[in-house]
Structure 1
Amino acid sequence: MSNFLPNSLIQRLGVNPTFDKDAFIAAHEDGNQITSIRLNPFKPTELDFYLSEQVQWCDNGYYLANRPQFTLDPLFHAGAYYVQEASSMFIAHIIQTLGLNKEALFAADVCAAPGGKSTLLNSYLHPDSLLLSNEIIKSRSIILQENLTRWGASNVVVSNNDPSAFRRLPGFFDLLLVDAPCSGSGMFRKDEDAIDEWSEANVKLCSERQQRILSEVLTAVKTNGYLIYSTCSYSEEENEDILDWLMDEFEMETVDVELKEEWGIVKSNSPKHQATGFRFYPHRVKGEGFFVAVLRMKQVQPSFSLKKLKVEKSPLPKDALKGWVKDYAGFATLVHHDTIHIFAKEHELAIKAFQQVLYLKNAGTAVGKWLGKELVPNHDLAMSIHLDEAINSIDLTLDLAQDYLRKEAMPQELFEGVKKGWCIVKYKNLPIGWIKVLGNRVNNYYPKEVRIANL
């Protein structure tokens, strides 16, 4: 028996005759740390480190031979990739297998911070989809917003709400992702502190919390809409038992997803309804512990109507975004506290609905402050894939890019040939922020709240 893994957990897993207890324990005791990233398909570039192997179930996912200092990598801050555990990238395979990338839909990531699964959804759903990315804890919602800003797309809304708020959006979403708070046993190899916090009492508490969250949000799923439910727990009480509870409480059906045998993923079934789940064990896959399942809502759901909503005419001049946003005429605008937000015109009514019933942290891309005759650009715009490529820009070396990210003063001589005014700072042709070139100085406008430490 393991010297540090909870005996009660090992014993429960060992009830399954196909479970290899010795291999499971060995995978935790060898101390092997696996690092994986997922590339941003909207921001292709050449990375400064080697991608050793592709994640089998995610075409944008890669393992790294060594873990670099991501904090010091300007491409990390530019949103070129997201550091994500490989097992959870399986959601990309689910999206593609179910064809949820074939047409525009409304999706919500209910427990979204820090943003790994939201950035994944944003990459794999149809580009005309709208994603609501929600986090209940205020401090974590700030991190969520930062990560989605780096990702750069405008078809995302970030909210900070209790799951009960979703009751005010009946039958709204085609897809709900609930990566539920759990006891964390799947992270034991990655985070040994999680072992000290684990207990059977906490498993029970988490199961009850998961049921509360699901009972609050499922009214927001359309008839025939999908729920993707996941945890980083091995406990049946938080996984297969939850699937049975869902099928008891709601008229839902299990959805199977094809696997390749060489992936090493274990298909499981819930005790009562035989609902299909997918288990990831570190001795079988190159990743951490994870559980995910898909259910489809079959009961007739109430429907939220957008027809009663009206949008207000934008107070902005017609060409206010010209030279800042490419294809600017194709975007709707929202002005909130003098800040202009842009998003696709077809999402205007949906975002209006979100405004009425949710507390929003951000909607679309925050372009900047409108001062009546001119725009002061926002950092979000620098990160945006919709930034006008004709904007004044300069590409920096690694050392200078790191200095910029520390919010240090930029050498004025570097910008002697650069036109005065706002200028995008790039690294390897990817924007990392704004500077303003003045007659006698260069001002660094990198946001102080996200600047990197002086390492």
Structure 2
Amino acid sequence: MTSLPQHVFDTAPDWNEDAYVMAHQQAPPVSVRLNPLKPSTAFPEMQRVPWSANGLYLPERPSFTLDPLFHGGAYYVQEASSMFVEQAFQQHVSRSQPLKVLDLCAAPGGKSTLLASLLRADDLLVSNEVIQTRASILVENMTRWGQMNTWVTNNDPKDFGRATGFFDAMLVDAPCSGSGLWRKDEQAIDEWSESNVQLCSERQQRILADALPALKKDGVLIYATCSYSVAENERIVDWLVTEMNMTALRVDCDAAWGVTETQSPQHKAWGYRFYPWKAKGEGFFLAVLRKNDGLVTDSLYQSSTKQKAKAKQDAALQQQMQAYFNTDIELFQHQDMIYAVHPEHKAYVDSMRGAFYIKKAGTAMGTMLKELVPEHDLALSVHLAEGVSRIALSRDEALHYLKKESVRTGDGYKGWHVATYEGVGLGWGKWMPNRMNNYLPKHYRIRMDL
């Protein structure tokens, strides 16, 4: 491997350069996390990631592109160390009432899909990404995951100052120097510098300072990086304790996991490091902190007579659209698109649309012409009613469907159906005698040869 910069991590707790070099001569482990709301036959009897209820290690990396279950959101390909967010959330976020959770730097969506799997139906997850192209990828992955209580925004962290005291929990997987991922990208070593670490540390403080007003008093912050540098990890925790009046929380770990518990230089605040020679995963850091001051806001919105009147006017449409779901919904429309949200979350729609650039809210159902022209989001929803017609495809048929080709054209099907593979929705098709129109969005299609 490329040689390490000299004295890069002399201050990193329990750093072992010889062990680091040996670990980086081995291939990184391959891991996935199953979607508990889309049960499937994916990866039976695999070794489990010990700190994640749904995480699995694979013996080798398959072609995920050629697995219909991947496209249907039955699992997410995620680095194992980062699944430790699950422990932080489960141990320290109170479930006494419906939660509002913000994943501030969420693309491509690994940690957001993990958080979504930990939430109840009446909880709300807002997944944000400031870079527009990455926000689009985030939308795709959250659509595959299929939950109605996950929204996607495309905002700068400072914009969340408009939501003062609103969120019960916040995940900040901060942009960093990336040294924890060098095993996957050796060339990145040559791009590393101490000045870049300092730049990242300053950016992390700015992001946190901008966004933390949105975390309510006694709310929980999960801070994470994929860096080994103390300046981006333990020193940021010290800064949060000193400048942001936060208290670091301890996470219980099984010693067999190989997680290194650390304490910050100034306040001896808890942090958790993953080293690839000790834990089965890549380099990762996480800390959990509770906010000691601030506001508590239960709502961003006050209902109005005009909005109540519109809700009454849409009652017929509400009844028609409810038939597509196995759970209660409320509707709203933006331009021609009809969206379904959990009834608890309808109150947030107007205020959030006014304050944030929303890329996805609830489940996009489709547009109404003579009939509903259904949206891809609806086909992949975990809330899709059993009465919605489905056509089960073989693996070969599913792959051709995912290449946006016609399938099952001679079986006499008629009308709209969800194409499925092993019970997992892949998208919509409209069948006519001896013809099928494939409504898979172009940007979701498989481009490689089968």
State the TM-score bracket (shorter-chain normalisation): over 0.9
Q: CA deviation at 1:274?
A: 1.2
Q: CA deviation at 1:150?
A: 0.4
Could you tell me which residue of structure 1 aligns to residue 333 of structure 2? 335
Letter of the structure 1 residue corresponding to residue 438 of structure 2: N
Q: CA deviation at 1:307?
A: 5.4
Could you tell me which residue of structure 2 aligns to residue 24 of structure 1? 20
CA–CA separation in structure 2 for the residues paired with 1:441 and 1:258: 58
Letter of the structure 1 residue corresponding to residue 170 of structure 2: L
Could you tell me which residue of structure 2 aligns to residue 426 of structure 1? 420
Alignment partner of 1:370 is 2:368: yes
SS of the residue corresponding to residue 319 of structure 1 reads helix
SS of the residue corresponding to residue 345 of structure 2 reads helix
Equivalences, count? 443
Could you tell me which residue of structure 1 aligns to residue 110 of structure 2? 116
CA–CA separation in structure 2 for the residues paired with 1:305 and 1:128: 14
- Asked if the contact 2:301–2:350 (Cα under 8 Å) also holds between the matched residues in 1, the reply is no
Q: CA deviation at 1:300?
A: 3.2
Q: How does 1:138-153 map to 2 (within 5 A)?
A: 138-153=132-147
CA–CA separation in structure 2 for the residues paired with 1:24 and 1:65: 22
Q: CA deviation at 1:128?
A: 1.9
- Asked if the contact 1:50–1:64 (Cα under 8 Å) also holds between the matched residues in 2, the reply is no
State which of 82, 89, 97 in structure 1 corresponds to 2:76: 82
Letter of the structure 2 residue corresponding to residue 20 of structure 1: N
Could you tell me which residue of structure 2 aligns to residue 43 of structure 1? 38
Alignment partner of 1:445 is 2:444: no
CA–CA separation in structure 2 for the residues paired with 1:324 and 1:303: 33
CA–CA separation in structure 1 for the residues paired with 2:41 and 2:95: 26
For residues 233-268 of structure 1, the C-alpha deviation after alignment (integer angstroms, 9 at most, x for no partner) is: 000110011111111211111111111111110011
Letter of the structure 2 residue corresponding to residue 40 of structure 1: N
CA–CA separation in structure 1 for the residues paired with 2:298 and 2:162: 9
- Asked if the contact 2:9–2:229 (Cα under 8 Å) also holds between the matched residues in 1, the reply is no
- Once the two structures are overlaid, the 10-residue window that deviates more, 309-318 or 173-182, is 309-318
Pair 1:71–1:11, CA change in 2 (3 A)? same
Q: CA deviation at 1:10?
A: 4.2
State which of 179, 185, 197 in structure 2 corresponds to 1:191: 185
For residues 402-430 of structure 1, the C-alpha deviation after alignment (integer angstroms, 9 at most, x for no partner) is: 000000122411x32x3x11011111111
- Asked if the contact 1:89–1:120 (Cα under 8 Å) also holds between the matched residues in 2, the reply is yes
Could you tell me which residue of structure 2 aligns to residue 209 of structure 1? 203
CA–CA separation in structure 2 for the residues paired with 1:237 and 1:113: 23
Letter of the structure 2 residue corresponding to residue 24 of structure 1: Y
Could you tell me which residue of structure 2 aligns to residue 219 of structure 1? 213
Q: CA deviation at 1:343?
A: 1.1
Could you tell me which residue of structure 2 aligns to residue 402 of structure 1? 399
Could you tell me which residue of structure 2 aligns to residue 246 of structure 1? 240
Could you tell me which residue of structure 2 aligns to residue 166 of structure 1? 160
State which of 350, 362, 375 in structure 2 corresponds to 1:352: 350
For residues 10-59 of structure 1, the C-alpha deviation after alignment (integer angstroms, 9 at most, x for no partner) is: 4443xx4x43321122101x232210000000000112x45530001001
TM-align CA RMSD: 1.7
Q: CA deviation at 1:104?
A: 1.8
For residues 162-189 of structure 1, the C-alpha deviation after alignment (integer angstroms, 9 at most, x for no partner) is: 0010010000000010000000000001
CA–CA separation in structure 1 for the residues paired with 2:300 and 2:229: 41
Q: How does 1:246-395 map to 2 (within 5 A)?
A: 246-301=240-295, 303=297, 305-306=299-300, 308-310=302-304, 311-312=307-308, 313-314=310-311, 316=314, 317=316, 318-327=318-327, 330-371=328-369, 373-395=370-392
Q: CA deviation at 1:309?
A: 4.1
- Asked if the contact 2:322–2:329 (Cα under 8 Å) also holds between the matched residues in 1, the reply is no
- Asked if the contact 1:23–1:283 (Cα under 8 Å) also holds between the matched residues in 2, the reply is yes
Q: CA deviation at 1:399?
A: 1.0
Q: CA deviation at 1:306?
A: 3.6
- Asked if the contact 1:101–1:124 (Cα under 8 Å) also holds between the matched residues in 2, the reply is no
- Once the two structures are overlaid, the 10-residue window that deviates more, 284-293 or 351-360, is 351-360
Pair 1:307–1:164, CA change in 2 (3 A)? closer
CA–CA separation in structure 2 for the residues paired with 1:409 and 1:224: 54
Letter of the structure 2 residue corresponding to residue 430 of structure 1: V
SS of the residue corresponding to residue 248 of structure 2 reads strand
- Asked if the contact 1:50–1:65 (Cα under 8 Å) also holds between the matched residues in 2, the reply is no
CA–CA separation in structure 1 for the residues paired with 2:160 and 2:303: 18
Letter of the structure 1 residue corresponding to residue 319 of structure 2: D
Alignment partner of 1:107 is 2:84: no
Could you tell me which residue of structure 1 aligns to residue 5 of structure 2? 6
Letter of the structure 2 residue corresponding to residue 357 of structure 1: A
Letter of the structure 1 residue corresponding to residue 326 of structure 2: K
SS of the residue corresponding to residue 7 of structure 2 reads helix
Pair 1:225–1:276, CA change in 2 (3 A)? same
Pair 1:99–1:166, CA change in 2 (3 A)? closer
Q: CA deviation at 1:390?
A: 1.6
CA–CA separation in structure 2 for the residues paired with 1:275 and 1:251: 13
CA–CA separation in structure 2 for the residues paired with 1:89 and 1:424: 31
Q: CA deviation at 1:387?
A: 1.1
- Asked if the contact 1:279–1:291 (Cα under 8 Å) also holds between the matched residues in 2, the reply is yes
Gaps of 5+ in 1: none
CA–CA separation in structure 2 for the residues paired with 1:394 and 1:180: 42
Q: CA deviation at 1:337?
A: 1.4
Letter of the structure 2 residue corresponding to residue 27 of structure 1: A
For residues 90-140 of structure 1, the C-alpha deviation after alignment (integer angstroms, 9 at most, x for no partner) is: 111112222545642100000000000100000013332100000000000
CA–CA separation in structure 2 for the residues paired with 1:307 and 1:138: 27
Letter of the structure 1 residue corresponding to residue 244 of structure 2: F
- Once the two structures are overlaid, the 10-residue window that deviates more, 289-298 or 388-397, is 388-397
- Once the two structures are overlaid, the 10-residue window that deviates more, 330-339 or 147-156, is 330-339
SS of the residue corresponding to residue 19 of structure 1 reads coil
Pair 1:322–1:358, CA change in 2 (3 A)? closer
Q: TM-score, normalised by structure 1?
A: 0.94
Alignment partner of 1:34 is 2:29: yes
Gaps of 5+ in 2: none
- Asked if the contact 2:35–2:75 (Cα under 8 Å) also holds between the matched residues in 1, the reply is yes
SS of the residue corresponding to residue 412 of structure 1 reads coil
Identity %: 49
Letter of the structure 2 residue corresponding to residue 42 of structure 1: L
Letter of the structure 2 residue corresponding to residue 75 of structure 1: L
CA–CA separation in structure 2 for the residues paired with 1:307 and 1:425: 39
Letter of the structure 2 residue corresponding to residue 52 of structure 1: M
- Asked if the contact 1:187–1:289 (Cα under 8 Å) also holds between the matched residues in 2, the reply is yes
- Asked if the contact 2:92–2:220 (Cα under 8 Å) also holds between the matched residues in 1, the reply is no
Q: CA deviation at 1:322?
A: 4.5
